[in-house]
């Protein structure tokens, strides 16, 4: 494979939210990664999501007992995985979207005030169109969620 001339240069850590917005298409209220604190090209990335009470999902999930929805935790793991894929020089341009979610488990609630440490490990790339990552979300050293996420390129 030849290098993609449109691929961004390798980043200097940590990556701030402005840099992440240059890599991923997500915007408020769906931009769920505040910082990338570790990155190994083509292998893994570690991101941070600061969970705050003034996020829109907490108005209805749940009044009096705010819990971060599991689907948003999974999405945050996926966005960290998206950083890995976006920075790979041999990947085509386009939008990677969910193609599958396997073996996802939730181990502890995530509430306002928590800081999610999101790790994405690239497991495989097939035909430069499909990627699989192993994601983990930790809070205070405790596993909050984990699972395998599959992405497909939409051109």
Query: Is the preceding omega at residue 52 within 30 degrees of 0, hence cis?
Result: no
Helices assigned H by DSSP within the chain? 17-23, 70-86
Among all residues, which ones are annotated catalytic?
61
Q: Tokens at residue 140, please? A: 């205070």
Q: Tokens at residue 53, please? A: 């009470």
Note the residue count of the chain: 155
């Amino acid at each position: 494979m030849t290098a993609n001339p449109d691929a961004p240069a390798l980043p200097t850590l940590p990556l701030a939210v402005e840099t992440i917005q240059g890599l991923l298409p997500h915007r408020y209220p769906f931009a769920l990664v505040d910082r990338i604190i570790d990155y190994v090209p083509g292998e893994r990335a570690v991101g941070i999501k600061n969970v705050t009470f003034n996020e829109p999902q907490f108005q209805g999930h749940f009044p009096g007992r705010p819990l971060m929805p599991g689907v948003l935790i999974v999405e945050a793991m996926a966005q960290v995985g998206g950083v890995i894929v976006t920075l790979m020089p041999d990947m085509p341009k386009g939008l990677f979207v969910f193609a599958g979610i396997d073996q996802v488990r939730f181990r502890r609630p995530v509430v306002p005030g928590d800081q999610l440490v999101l790790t994405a490990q690239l497991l495989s790339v097939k035909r430069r169109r499909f990627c699989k990552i192993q994601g983990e979300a930790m809070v205070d050293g405790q596993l909050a969620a984990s699972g395998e996420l599959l992405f497909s390129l939409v051109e």
